[in-house]
Amino acid sequence: MAPKYAPSLRSRLAPFLLFLQIGFVVVYYFYIEIESNVNGIKFSNFYPVFQDLNVVVFLGFGFLSTFLVRYGFSGSGFNLLIAVIGTQWALLLNGFESWYYRGKIRIDLNSLVVAEMCTASVLISIGAVQGKTNPVHLILMALLEVFGFVLNEWLLQTLLPVRQLNFIMVLHIFGAFFGLVLTWILCRTESFQGFEKEKLDRKTGLFSMLGTVFLWMFWPSFNSILMEERRLSAVCSTYLALAVCAVASVALSVLSSPKGKAHFQSCILAGGVAVGVSMPAIRYPWEAMTTGLAAAAVSTVGFQYLKVNHMLFAFECHDTCSVLSTHGLPGLLGWLIQLVLQIQQCDDHTMAIRFAVFHIDALLITLATSLTMGFLTGVLLKWDIWRPPQDKKCFDDQAFWKFEHLAVRK
Amino acid sequence: MAPKYAPSLRSRLAPFLLFLQIGFVVVYYFYIEIESNVNGIKFSNFYPVFQDLNVVVFLGFGFLSTFLVRYGFSGSGFNLLIAVIGTQWALLLNGFESWYYRGKIRIDLNSLVVAEMCTASVLISIGAVQGKTNPVHLILMALLEVFGFVLNEWLLQTLLPVRQLNFIMVLHIFGAFFGLVLTWILCRTESFQGFEKEKLDRKTGLFSMLGTVFLWMFWPSFNSILMEERRLSAVCSTYLALAVCAVASVALSVLSSPKGKAHFQSCILAGGVAVGVSMPAIRYPWEAMTTGLAAAAVSTVGFQYLKVNHMLFAFECHDTCSVLSTHGLPGLLGWLIQLVLQIQQCDDHTMAIRFAVFHIDALLITLATSLTMGFLTGVLLKWDIWRPPQDKKCFDDQAFWKFEHLAVRK
Amino acid sequence: MAPKYAPSLRSRLAPFLLFLQIGFVVVYYFYIEIESNVNGIKFSNFYPVFQDLNVVVFLGFGFLSTFLVRYGFSGSGFNLLIAVIGTQWALLLNGFESWYYRGKIRIDLNSLVVAEMCTASVLISIGAVQGKTNPVHLILMALLEVFGFVLNEWLLQTLLPVRQLNFIMVLHIFGAFFGLVLTWILCRTESFQGFEKEKLDRKTGLFSMLGTVFLWMFWPSFNSILMEERRLSAVCSTYLALAVCAVASVALSVLSSPKGKAHFQSCILAGGVAVGVSMPAIRYPWEAMTTGLAAAAVSTVGFQYLKVNHMLFAFECHDTCSVLSTHGLPGLLGWLIQLVLQIQQCDDHTMAIRFAVFHIDALLITLATSLTMGFLTGVLLKWDIWRPPQDKKCFDDQAFWKFEHLAVRK
């Protein structure tokens, strides 16, 4: 007979977290200092966008996954936990070079932003394994994925003579494929019958809608935050792509549903993903809008047909939050659109080929690192020592959170 | 026997949306470009207020109407859909003059803001017909109302030698009366017995409270966003008017309820509406506060007595979100206060009369355009070809949204 | 037999609110004007932080206490009501000096911010008496507490030759101890058996999580808003302290729970409180992080062991929102950390002793004023004339709010 309660994480989670956090404090004691030479006006101008990013990372990604009726607390709570661990870890790894040459790492708003962007790729991956993992899994995953992400960045900058890294591209594609490999390795037989507690209801759906709307509104900030120039263009392009994507998602989901019903929650963000990835090549509004339209098509089709039929049964890959159709496919689409547009914009034939080679190499390196790291992480997480939740306890807040005054009858 | 399911919109909604959206992309391809000459500091200073407006438009108006227990998804989802369609359409219509003279329309943050303000009047009107329409209705309404709004703007600027249009005034009054005429024409007999599914419960009420609080907090941004000067004054005035209005709404709703219970959700915004409309004439804090007090009185009385007794039974006008008492009456009140204050401030008798004539004309033109466009839209929407939801399917998300994993027993 | 309905507040609340509000308008008419000499760039740079503070005050504190299943409307609604009354009152009291010398009080964004910070201490206190009071109590409390807060400020600046007041310290400590004394005096026998309606459920818990996440995200703005310099340092320190605190709260709550379950909602804010109080002495990231770690420890232990066992049974003090462990203890801890760090940073022995004396005096004066004002307020509120809710009607929205279309069966 299966045990009645989920295995207690007391002996695993608490020491691990304390060890990690005290370790961070010690390392920060020796190596981290806050930038003292601050330009007041630049700070004031950047601060609101930094707060928009916080809303995207801590609130948006967290509440996006509250649609699961019994997993809302874990969805939003673990998101916050992983985000802060990942950010502290990424601050260290990103400062490695500075530490190597100067012995100290100086942080400012910009380093916090870059660190949160690295962490965002972890939050994307979590979407794929949501509900089937415990917090110990998620923390290990965060540490390894941020490491992989920074490694991939280093590889790209070392192997390819690119002047500017397309951070947004790496973030979505790395995050999505890492998560997919991971969920493929962690696949359980229960996935095929459907988990007992993987359900949504109206009200938790509204929380998820709230998270989606916040992500949707602040996506222009997310796409433009690391740009020094052309910020207006990035904001307007993202805005238009998201607008088109919202309209097209409704149209296409109604068209592909036999009863003519709509669904748009995860798909309306696809436009922002695709346009963010292809941003360096976007010059005109119609390019952004067409990208949004294509992303909506890819994402809606992916959501309707790939998720259950192909992803689950053909590839044994249970993707809780449809990471493939929200980040993976639109990311690849954006990559493709950037390729086509950039080649068109090149006057010179040699330049075009040169660009294409680098662009394709960047994708291949990112995919390779992502899949390798995802595979290694998956193998590590399969180990029983981390006490994975039993099938019946998947998607259940009760296993992790204390509800003291919880009403007996809901 | 009535059909069991709501009529499927597949054959109406999807082609209509796709046609519209692809049409927009094509028109944007030929005529729209993004402003390239950007002042970085001005952009950075304006961007946070632009995001506040987005929160008001996409989140605030959307979640305001989630109080309907079975209509939360539609309330927030259709709001987003209509807002993005309306904004794309308004960008084109507002750029008509620029297109006429230069052949191209250049967009920047400011044009997005103006377009969203036009759309806001549609979102206000939707409040009146919420739950009794399907998305096809709402899209048609958005297209016609934005057209009417821009036409009204053009009429005001052509017929009256006003230098500056009171955008906020037009927005609330146009939106409210357009919506009221529309709901009057679309009135059904079912309205008199009450719709079966027009209910609220505690938790959806909290979502609505959330939307209200966001609107309330960012209303100072909404009222000051189009002002070049006197922004501090606009922010402080709106803040104080909203504060007074919140206190007075509680007091008056308690006073007018036999059991001494409070209600303030829609009324606390009335102060912001009234003070926004009369802003050009507001010089001192007490003027703003008195406006807030008067708006609370008008709005609370309107909500308590007009809504059911007079609006519904006398005028056959079912106003779901109390648009009359939230936007219509406070808008008229603000107009009146501006009139009185401006006349007082005029030193010259002739100037005062001149101003009064223009001010009254502006209202009459706005009301006339609003009522005419609302009437025409209503006649168009009454057509059965758009497949209106049956009475039993009004206020029901199930008719439009797919809930895949929905728990069978809630 | 106990009366079936809660006593109606119609004859108390409505006249009181109207009298108060009209009084404010009259006083504002004579003495308040809006600053006309505005620096446009400074305004634009400050405005987004002002809006962040509004989110903290109106949304964050309001939704933090929506976890009570039947008290969500009151939690968020009364919070807004009290916040606007307190702010109007604080604007007057803070401007007393200016009125005395110039006959007029000029308000700008900065005075609104200071007034909201005074009000924040009231919102903290309300956490302790949440659910066991009616709105008349809360308004009286707001008036007296803001008066006490301003009095305390004046005492500190008059008695101690400190150049800069530690506003954040006063705010948390004054608010927490005021609330605790108040709830001690208002203690009912029912508290010991537990109130019938003091329950939470999953969905209201998610609303509370939403409020917590907003507070958590915008806490860096809250801590840095009154600083002219070193704002980057304040933002980074608060960010890191909050991050560490979130991780440590999960670890410690899992460790101290027999089944290894986590709880972090109120504790993750403790790091922000402690680091805000000790901010003037924080120079390095590790100091902020250690403060966050210590605050998490104090807060988690306080929440787990003090609340029910000691606070309630030993001190007869029913603290609904755990104000002691969220604001009181972390505030004291921050005070202590500032003392230690400042003494270490002093080169001179005399300076260190001088600082220590002032620092200890500041705490003692604040505690004395807080406890005295709390006591006096408590004695006033115990009077039956204010119609306190019966035990069975505590924690119940139905007593105060009208739910017109409320579904009969939920």
A342-358 tens-digit pLDDT:
999 888 888 899 889 99
Model confidence pLDDT, tens digit, residues B347-396? 888 889 988 999 999 999 999 999 999 999 999 998 888 888 888 888 88
Q: Which residues of B touch C13 (CB under 8 A)?
A: 250-251, 254, 260, 262
Structure tokens at A397: 């807040």
Closest CA to C204 of C78, C73, C324: C73
Model confidence pLDDT, tens digit, residues C245-293? 999 999 999 888 877 788 777 789 999 999 999 999 999 999 999 999 9
Side-chain-side CA neighbours of B352 within 13 Å: the count stands at: 10
Structure tokens at B110: 């400011």
Q: Which residues contact A40 (CB under 8 A, 6 or more apart)?
A: C231
pLDDT at B408 over 60: no
At residue B73 the predicted structure's pLDDT band, cuts being 50, 70 and 90, is: confident
CA distance readout (Å), C171 to C112, C143, C167, C271, C307: 16, 15, 6, 15, 22
Touching subunits for chain A (3+ Cβ pairs under 8 A): B, C
The torsion defined by the Cα of A383, A386, A389 and A390, in degrees rounded to 10, comes to 40
Across the interface, do A77 and C262 touch by the CB < 8 Å criterion? yes
Predicted confidence at residue A404, as pLDDT, reads 56
* Section A72-80 average pLDDT: 91
Residue type, B47: Y
Q: Which residues of A touch B10 (CB under 8 A)?
A: 254-255, 257-260
Q: Which residues of B touch A243 (CB under 8 A)?
A: 84, 87-88
Taking the CA of residue C142 and the nearest CA in chain B, the distance in Å comes to: 13
Across the interface, do A285 and B32 touch by the CB < 8 Å criterion? yes
Phi, psi (degrees; rounded to nearest 5) at A200: -125, 160
CA distance B75 to B179: 16
At residue B2 the predicted structure's pLDDT band, cuts being 50, 70 and 90, is: very low
Closest CA to A329 of A314, A354, A310, A316: A310
Model confidence pLDDT, tens digit, residues A23-65? 999 999 999 999 888 888 889 999 999 999 999 999 999 998 8
pLDDT at B119 over 80: yes
Across the interface, do A48 and B43 touch by the CB < 8 Å criterion? no
C33 DSSP β-pair partners? C106
At residue B68 the predicted structure's pLDDT band, cuts being 50, 70 and 90, is: confident
Across the interface, do B401 and A217 touch by the CB < 8 Å criterion? no
Nearest CA in chain C to B260: C10
At residue A399 the predicted structure's pLDDT band, cuts being 50, 70 and 90, is: confident
- Is C264 strand, coil or helix? coil
CA distance C346 to B96: 68
Closest CA to B331 of B398, B269, B408: B269
Across the interface, do B9 and A205 touch by the CB < 8 Å criterion? no
Across the interface, do B35 and A261 touch by the CB < 8 Å criterion? no
Nearest CA in chain C to B233: C34
Q: Which residues of C touch A401 (CB under 8 A)?
A: 261-263
Across the interface, do A34 and C205 touch by the CB < 8 Å criterion? no
At residue B404 the predicted structure's pLDDT band, cuts being 50, 70 and 90, is: low
CA distance B317 to C225: 48
CA distance A194 to A180: 18
Bridging pattern class, strands C32-34 and C105-107? parallel
CA distance A300 to A253: 6
Residue B33 belongs to what H/E stretch? strand B32-34
Q: Which residues of A touch C243 (CB under 8 A)?
A: 84, 87-88
Q: Are B144 and B96 in contact (CB under 8 A)?
A: no
Q: Which residues of B touch A290 (CB under 8 A)?
A: 25
Touching subunits for chain B (3+ Cβ pairs under 8 A): A, C
| Among candidates C221, C261, C290 on the partner chain, residue whose Cβ is nearest the Cβ of A51 | C221
Phi, psi (degrees; rounded to nearest 5) at A359: -65, -45
| Among candidates C25, C33, C410 on the partner chain, residue whose Cβ is nearest the Cβ of B201 | C410
In whole numbers, what is the pLDDT of chain A averaged over residues? 88
* Section B147-166 average pLDDT: 86
Q: What distance lies between CA C196 and its chain's CA centroid? A: 26
Test mutation, C266, C289, C308, C394, chain A, max A CBs within 10 A:
C289
Across the interface, do C206 and A45 touch by the CB < 8 Å criterion? no
Residue A79 belongs to what H/E stretch? helix A72-94
Taking the CA of residue C360 and the nearest CA in chain B, the distance in Å comes to: 38
Q: Which residues of C touch A54 (CB under 8 A)?
A: 217
Taking the CA of residue A273 and the nearest CA in chain B, the distance in Å comes to: 18
Side-chain-side CA neighbours of A269 within 13 Å: the count stands at: 31
At residue A229 the predicted structure's pLDDT band, cuts being 50, 70 and 90, is: confident
Across the interface, do B84 and A217 touch by the CB < 8 Å criterion? no
Overall pTM surpassing 0.80 (yes/no): yes
Across the interface, do B48 and C43 touch by the CB < 8 Å criterion? no
Test mutation, B17, B212, B221, chain A, max A CBs within 10 A:
B17
Nearest CA in chain B to C83: B243
| Among candidates C203, C246, C285 on the partner chain, residue whose Cβ is nearest the Cβ of A32 | C285
Residue type, B109: L
Q: Are A410 and A211 in contact (CB under 8 A)?
A: no
Nearest CA in chain B to A233: B34
CA distance readout (Å), B355 to B216, B334, B337, B342: 31, 16, 13, 8
- Residue A64, judged by CB atoms within 10 A of its CB (0-12, 13-18, 19+), counts as buried
Q: Which residues of C touch B262 (CB under 8 A)?
A: 13, 77, 135, 400-402
% helix, strand, coil for chain A, step of 5: 75, 5, 20
| Among candidates C41, C260, C290 on the partner chain, residue whose Cβ is nearest the Cβ of A9 | C260
In CATH terms, A16-34+43-189+197-385 corresponds, of 1.10.443.10, 1.20.1440.230, 1.10.760.10, 1.10.3430.10, to 1.10.3430.10
Model confidence pLDDT, tens digit, residues A236-267? 999 999 999 999 999 998 888 877 788 777 78
Structure tokens at A340: 């086509």
CA distance readout (Å), A373 to A126, A320, C39: 14, 20, 53
Could you tell me how many residues make up chain B?
410
Model confidence pLDDT, tens digit, residues C191-238? 777 777 777 777 788 899 999 999 999 999 999 998 888 899 999 999
pLDDT at A203 over 80: no
Predicted confidence at residue A394, as pLDDT, reads 84
pLDDT over 90 percentage in chain C: 60
Model confidence pLDDT, tens digit, residues B291-349? 999 999 999 988 887 766 667 777 778 888 889 999 999 999 999 999 999 999 888 88
Closest CA to A389 of A401, A377, A375: A401
Across the interface, do B232 and C8 touch by the CB < 8 Å criterion? no
Predicted confidence at residue B205, as pLDDT, reads 84
Residue B107 belongs to what H/E stretch? strand B105-107
Which ranges of C95-201 does DSSP label H, i.e. alpha helix? 96-102, 109-129, 135-159, 167-185, 190-193
Across the interface, do A63 and C210 touch by the CB < 8 Å criterion? yes
CA distance B56 to B218: 7
Side-chain-side CA neighbours of B358 within 13 Å: the count stands at: 20
Q: Which residues of B touch A240 (CB under 8 A)?
A: 28, 88
Q: Which residues contact A51 (CB under 8 A, 6 or more apart)?
A: C48, C52, C217, C218, C221
- Residue C158, judged by CB atoms within 10 A of its CB (0-12, 13-18, 19+), counts as exposed
Structure tokens at A179: 């998560």
Model confidence pLDDT, tens digit, residues A270-290? 999 999 999 999 999 999 999
Q: Which residues of B touch C200 (CB under 8 A)?
A: none
At residue C406 the predicted structure's pLDDT band, cuts being 50, 70 and 90, is: very low
| Among candidates B17, B51, B81 on the partner chain, residue whose Cβ is nearest the Cβ of A218 | B51
- Is B399 strand, coil or helix? helix
Structure tokens at A333: 């689409």
Could you tell me how many residues make up chain C?
410
Structure tokens at C23: 């009084």
| Among candidates B201, B247, B268 on the partner chain, residue whose Cβ is nearest the Cβ of C407 | B201
At residue B198 the predicted structure's pLDDT band, cuts being 50, 70 and 90, is: confident
Q: Which residue has the higher pLDDT, C115 or C348?
A: C115
Q: What region, left, alpha or beta, does residue A316 occupy, with left being phi > 0 and alpha being psi -120 to 50 degrees?
A: left
Q: Are B297 and B271 in contact (CB under 8 A)?
A: no
CA distance readout (Å), B366 to A22, A364, B147: 65, 59, 13
Model confidence pLDDT, tens digit, residues C299-330? 998 888 776 666 777 777 888 888 999 999 99
Across the interface, do A259 and B76 touch by the CB < 8 Å criterion? no
Taking the CA of residue B280 and the nearest CA in chain A, the distance in Å comes to: 29
